[in-house]
Amino acid sequence: MSISATLREVARRPDMLYQGVRTCSGCGASLIAKLVLKAIGKPTVVVSATGCLEVATSILPFTSWKVPWIHNAFENAAATAAGIEAAYKAMAKKGLIKEAPDVIVMAGDGGTYDIGFQALSGALERGHDFLYVLYDNEAYMNTGIQRSGGTPRFAWTTTSPAGEILKGKLEAKKPLGFIVAEHRIPYVATASPSEPLDLIRKVRKGLEVEGPAFIHVICPCPRGWRFDPSLTIKVARLAVRTCFFPLWECHWEDGEQIYQLTGPSRLIAEVPELKLPVEYYLAVQGRFSHLFRPKRLDQLIAEIQSEVDANWKLLLRRAGMA
Amino acid sequence: MASAVVEQKRVGMTGDEAVAYAIKQVEPDVVAAYPITPQTIIVERFSEYVASGEVRTEFVAVESEHSALSACVGAAATGARAFTATASQGLALMWEILYIASSLRLPIVMAIVNRALSAPINIHCDHSDAMGARDSGWIQLFCENCQEAYDTTIQAWRIAEHPSVQLPVMVCLDGFVVSHTLEDISVLPDRAVKEFVGERELVSVVGHEGLEAPYRLDPEGRRPLSMGTFAMYDLYFEYKRQQEEAMEAALTVIEEVGREYGELSGRYYGLIDAYRLEDAEVAIVGLGSSMGTAKDAADELRNEGVRAGVLRIRSFRPFPSEAVREALRGVKAVAVMDRAMSFGGPAGPLMMDMATAFYGRGGPVMTNYIYGLGGRDISVEDLKEAARGALKAAEEGVEGVPVKFVGLRG
């Protein structure tokens, strides 16, 4: 499939997940997995970290995966992928296989920001040729919505509940995309299921580069974020349009690291009036409801807005658009 | 038959070097490892083989032992051969993945250079690290010396990959005592090793849509398998029972492979190593290098008129209960030497297995000795004392299992 596929072409591509995946209705993760696999161009092995997607797709005696798939543990998806990549490389060297398959990791925010960060960083530093797709639903959803390093400030979770004193998680979301980019790997991007063609193009790019690639996908979770399952794509779209989760990619050209905005984020950079207030995004999600009810907490909403603005400005500077 | 034995070179090597050399000859597809004393030399030597182009192995210098074994799991899942080595804290860090490797039935080989566990931090030999992995579903073979470390590292692949086994193997060698001690060892020609280990053959499983598939992550994606799936109470238990059956099968396979290796090399190995037990009244039973010392102790005791022998357990997992009973038939007293503790348990870990092996069947009177923790030396005299103590307990008709400490201050 070409890098500039149309939606119609994408829809015609075979589904590499069987029907009947046991994720919740409206789940962003299985949708993202399906889209990612629409982009594969040759035999591909998928590695999953422990998490929602892993559990819901592999309940014995059934499996959802039409591609070779392995789950090892929670924190070691990148290390497992490293071993797989090394093994195929050795086999190819010995002439036992013609060509090494592509290796894609799919892991959640817990398995990536937190417990799996060391293995990820190590694998990136060693330069294994694999694509790591982070589906970021911003909390430990599989165990019942506990805060992670990916949970945004003031979001309610079961371990950062909103109470009289504390208003959800007090700490900021770890800037993982930038941290990964600082490993100076060939390709890093963010993506959203609300922009499927952008996502698929980035997956293609990630698979085509030599060495590690990383795509950070925002993954709305109706259960954990507290919104109606019919709104998944709308919520993802609002994350992008408010610049809460801007879309960008980062690659290397002549020894220089190039950040570029993509899709709606590029448009917003060019026409700043298109940037929606973050409140639009917060207000549709129950995990932020304590900011609006019983009393509107203007100061906290403003704090989130100024953080979003600062992050956006930083990104614009990196993309040379400030 | 001596005539069939292949011609071998004599070389001076430490235990670590012997393991690295064996792995060079086997040339697995992937070696993923992280350095830790006293295993470091294995990794260093192997890196040199990679750097000089003597092997085509992909060496993955991972950022932790957890990732070392995780990478081996990934590599072995593709159908490749994967090796790693560790010790002590490194093995402890791997603990989670040990169970996954064995339950996914991946024939990984790992050298364990036995070392004490922190705290206090200590780099010297005891068996606490391996005992912590006792129930992880790995085959555990304990070596007495550098020669055996070399020989076992080669045999391990055949045992692990046997169709009725399909389990990972730990080759255990004592930290410093074996790992850093120079010994003259016989090494097989490269070709003989290559022929002995052959290629890894994959077992066939029923995969997607009821189709037979080789057990691997198919590089062409035609027979996709899902590995490491989610099983509930309706299926999980059967997996565990199958692992146990594989362990039972390993009892035979370890003997078979040992015999075949003996025909090739002239050095025969089995589940146990029985020394002067035929007419023994007292036996010293244990694991690893101190059983070499125990053999000297037995010789001296015999010169002093005590009919002593040694039973070295080579295969600690699977535990060869039957072979142990057979070897100790007629022995009156046994000194069971444990180089690890089971805090709060009834005795040391080896002792518990020994007691279970004989439970309800009579057998010798046994005395348990805990020794050598954190590398504390054990002498011929200490072992003679242990044997005499065991004999005395048997003669006095002691009840239960006394647990004693060797060479402990205070």
Q: Is residue B71 part of a domain?
A: yes
User: Do B116 and B19 sit in the same domain of this protein?
Assistant: yes
Q: Which domain holds residue B389?
A: 272-405
Distance CA A234, CA B119 (A): 54
CA of B258 vs chain A CAs: smallest distance (Å): 28
What 3-state DSSP class applies to B308? Answer: strand
CA distances in angstroms from A241 to A15, A224, A274, listed in the order given: 29, 21, 8
- The CATH number that applies at residue B153 is 3.40.50.970
User: Do B276 and B257 sit in the same domain of this protein?
Assistant: no
Nearest CA in chain A to B214: A68
Q: Kindly determine whether residue B219 and residue A91, on different chains, have CB atoms separated by under 8 Å.
A: yes
**Residue scoring higher pLDDT (B329 or A3):** B329
Nearest CA in chain A to B239: A60
Contacts of B227 in chain A (CB under 8 A): 69-71
Give me the amino acid identity at B241.
R
Distance CA B393, CA A207 (A): 70
User: Do B256 and B289 sit in the same domain of this protein?
Assistant: no
Q: Kindly determine whether residue A72 and residue B67, on different chains, have CB atoms separated by under 8 Å.
A: no
Pairing mode, strands B169-174 and B139-142:
parallel
Contacts of A63 in chain B (CB under 8 A): 208, 226, 229
Look at residue B3 in the predicted model and tell me its pLDDT.
Answer: 52
Look at residue B62 in the predicted model and tell me its pLDDT.
Answer: 98
Q: Is residue B136 part of a domain?
A: yes
Look at residue A2 in the predicted model and tell me its pLDDT.
Answer: 62
Contacts of A47 in chain B (CB under 8 A): 74
User: Do B62 and B162 sit in the same domain of this protein?
Assistant: yes
User: Do B31 and B136 sit in the same domain of this protein?
Assistant: yes
Distance CA A63, CA B144 (A): 46
How would you classify residue B166: left for phi > 0, otherwise alpha for psi between -120 and 50, otherwise beta? left
Other beta carbons within 10 angstroms of residue B44's beta carbon come to: 13
User: Is pLDDT of A318 > 50?
Assistant: yes
Contacts of B96 in chain A (CB under 8 A): 73
Longest CA–CA span in chain A (Å) reads 68
User: Do B99 and B183 sit in the same domain of this protein?
Assistant: yes
| Encoded tokens for B100 | 């996954």
Look at residue B166 in the predicted model and tell me its pLDDT.
Answer: 98
What 3-state DSSP class applies to A122? Answer: helix
C-alpha A310 chain-centroid distance: 21
Q: Kindly determine whether residue A47 and residue B64, on different chains, have CB atoms separated by under 8 Å.
A: no
Look at residue B1 in the predicted model and tell me its pLDDT.
Answer: 45
Distance CA A245, CA B188 (A): 61
Closest partner CB to A70 (pick from B64, B80, B228): B228
Look at residue B4 in the predicted model and tell me its pLDDT.
Answer: 74
What 3-state DSSP class applies to B389? Answer: helix
State the total domains in chain B. Answer: 2
Give which of A171, A79, A60, A170 is closest to A121, Cα–Cα: A79
Q: Is residue B59 part of a domain?
A: yes
Q: Is residue B229 part of a domain?
A: no
User: Do B18 and B116 sit in the same domain of this protein?
Assistant: yes
Give which of B156, B219, B199, B226 is closest to B29, Cα–Cα: B199
User: Do B186 and B309 sit in the same domain of this protein?
Assistant: no
What 3-state DSSP class applies to B233? Answer: coil
Distance CA B39, CA B31 (A): 14
How many degrees, rounded to 5, is the angle at CA A156 between CA A152 and CA A162? 125
User: Do B181 and B300 sit in the same domain of this protein?
Assistant: no
Q: Residue A252: phi, psi to the nearest 5?
A: -115, 135
Q: In A169-278, where do the E strands start and end?
A: 187-191, 213-218, 248-253, 256-261
Taking only the tens place, the pLDDT of each residue in A95-115 is 999 999 999 999 999 999 999
Distance CA A144, CA A125 (A): 32
| Encoded tokens for A141 | 């959803």
Q: What is the fold, at CATH topology level, of the domain defined by A23-318?
A: Rossmann fold (3.40.50)
Q: Is residue B388 part of a domain?
A: yes
User: Do B153 and B63 sit in the same domain of this protein?
Assistant: yes
Q: Kindly determine whether residue B228 and residue A86, on different chains, have CB atoms separated by under 8 Å.
A: no
Contact present, B319 and B357 (Cβ < 8 Å): yes
Q: Kindly determine whether residue A126 and residue B60, on different chains, have CB atoms separated by under 8 Å.
A: yes
Look at residue B97 in the predicted model and tell me its pLDDT.
Answer: 98
Residues in Cβ contact with A261 at an 8 Å cutoff, skipping those fewer than 6 apart: A246, A247, A248, A268, A269, A315, A316, A319, A321
Helix (H) or strand (E) holding B356: helix B349-358
Orientation angle between helical segments A28-38 and A232-241, nearest 10 degrees? 80
What is the predicted ipTM?
Answer: 0.97
Residues in Cβ contact with B168 at an 8 Å cutoff, skipping those fewer than 6 apart: B98, B101, B102, B106, B107, B108, B109, B110, B137, B138, B139, B160
Helix (H) or strand (E) holding A240: helix A232-241
Closest partner CB to B74 (pick from A80, A118, A122): A80
Q: Kindly determine whether residue B60 and residue A86, on different chains, have CB atoms separated by under 8 Å.
A: yes
Q: Kindly determine whether residue A79 and residue B78, on different chains, have CB atoms separated by under 8 Å.
A: no
Distance CA A179, CA A113 (A): 10
Contacts of A50 in chain B (CB under 8 A): none
Q: Is residue B330 part of a domain?
A: yes
Q: Kindly determine whether residue A86 and residue B58, on different chains, have CB atoms separated by under 8 Å.
A: yes
Residue A1 pLDDT class (50, 70, 90 cuts): low
Q: Kindly report the pTM of this predicted structure.
A: 0.98
What 3-state DSSP class applies to B390? Answer: helix
Closest partner CB to A79 (pick from B57, B62, B100): B62
DSSP A112: I
Taking only the tens place, the pLDDT of each residue in A113-153 is 999 999 999 999 999 999 999 999 999 999 999 999 999 99
Mean pLDDT of chain A: 97
The ranges assigned to domains in chain A are 23-318
Q: From edge to edge, which strands make up the β-sheet containing B226-227?
A: A256-261, A248-253, A187-191, A213-218, A131-136, A102-108, A44-48, A69-71, B226-227
Q: Kindly determine whether residue A72 and residue B97, on different chains, have CB atoms separated by under 8 Å.
A: yes
Distance CA A175, CA A246 (A): 12
User: Do B294 and B353 sit in the same domain of this protein?
Assistant: yes
Distance CA B369, CA B338 (A): 6
Contacts of B77 in chain A (CB under 8 A): 70, 83-84
User: Do B149 and B21 sit in the same domain of this protein?
Assistant: yes
Look at residue B207 in the predicted model and tell me its pLDDT.
Answer: 86
- The CATH number that applies at residue B296 is 3.40.50.920
Written as tens digits, the pLDDT of chain B (410 aa) is 445 799 999 999 999 999 999 999 999 999 999 999 999 999 999 999 999 999 999 999 999 999 999 999 999 999 999 999 999 999 999 999 999 999 999 999 999 999 999 999 999 999 999 999 999 999 999 999 999 999 999 999 999 999 999 999 999 999 999 999 999 999 999 999 999 999 999 999 998 888 999 999 999 999 999 999 999 999 999 999 999 999 999 999 999 999 999 999 999 999 999 999 999 999 999 999 999 999 999 999 999 999 999 999 999 999 999 999 999 999 999 999 999 999 999 999 999 999 999 999 999 999 999 999 999 999 999 999 999 999 999 999 999 999 999 999 97
How many Å from the N-terminal Cα to the C-terminal Cα in chain B?
53
Q: What is the 3-state secondary structure (H, E, C) of B242-284?
A: HHHHHHHHHHHHHHHHHHHHHHHHCCCCCCEEEECCCCCCEEE
CA of B27 vs chain A CAs: smallest distance (Å): 11
Contacts of B235 in chain A (CB under 8 A): 60-61
Look at residue A3 in the predicted model and tell me its pLDDT.
Answer: 62
B243-246 long-range contacts (CB < 8 A, ≥24 apart) are B243/B102, B243/B103, B243/B105, B243/B137, B243/B167, B246/B105, B246/B164, B246/B165, B246/B166, B246/B167
Q: Kindly determine whether residue B32 and residue A86, on different chains, have CB atoms separated by under 8 Å.
A: yes
Look at residue A243 in the predicted model and tell me its pLDDT.
Answer: 98
Q: Kindly determine whether residue B66 and residue A93, on different chains, have CB atoms separated by under 8 Å.
A: no
Taking only the tens place, the pLDDT of each residue in A28-39 is 999 999 999 999
Of chain A, the percentage scoring pLDDT greater than 70 comes to 99
